[in-house]
Amino acid sequence: MLKLINLKKHFGGVRAVDGCSFEIKKGKITALIGPNGSGKSTIFNLISGVLKVNSGKVILDMKNITNLNVEDISNLGISRIFQQSRLFGNLTVKENLLLAFDNEDTKFWKNLLFVDRSSKNKEERIRKALASFKLDKYENKLARDLSYGQKRLIEIARAIIKPHKLLMLDEPVAGVTPILRKEISRILKDLRKMGETLFVIEHDMNFILNIADEVIVLDEGKVLASGKPNEIKHNKKVLEAYLGD
């Protein structure tokens, strides 16, 4: 579904991404792991258009999306969450989720004010998403009044509601409680059962090795290893990268 071909991104003399090539397979959960500063979030930003590639290619469903702008890439089918919360605190949960349906600035207020003909369908999708996340009672609550973990769940729900081919999650369980980690694990596994394709960055090794089908390990901007979770868990090079010699 998604291919990176010899992708490179430099910041001055720092090679944040240094010739990465790998593939994300349809209907699978692929994890991207590595020590701090290994280039994980930079790769996410290059794929989604937040940063421009120095060289190499990003291919989505055989279409070259390298260096397209964020809106075009999003509309082609990539939906993501970031490391930091990006909800609108002064809007309700329902209003935040409603904004997922269209990225075009001209339709921002149409979505928010429910003047679209398909508003009933959108509201129904929001209700189903909140029910699946067990957050029904928070529909009309302001986002700023949610806990950090609840905000994380709403951000994942918003990414899922948005029409997409690939769901990219940057540290979905960072800072959340153990109970919510289990809930997010359940949600991601359910999404895979439904045929979703997920690309996930996560520092919690126990969490990610429990849900991933494939694991890609970065170190100093390069692919150090890739394989099944059990293979990665016992890979000497990976252990050295995390723990040192």
Mean pLDDT, rounded, for 42-58: 96
- The verdict on residue 49 lying in a domain is no
Question: Rounded distance, CA 208 to CA 134, Å?
Answer: 22
By residue range, what is the domain housing residue 218? 2-40+55-243
* Cβ neighbourhood burial of 173 (10 Å; 0-12, 13-18, 19+): buried
* Cβ neighbourhood burial of 193 (10 Å; 0-12, 13-18, 19+): exposed
- The verdict on residue 121 lying in a domain is yes
- The domain tally of the chain equals 1
Which tens digit of pLDDT belongs to each residue from 144-164? 999 888 888 899 888 888 888
Strands 166-170 and 78-81: parallel
- The verdict on residue 177 lying in a domain is yes
CATH label of the domain that carries residue 67: 3.40.50.300
pLDDT at 113 > cutoff 70: no
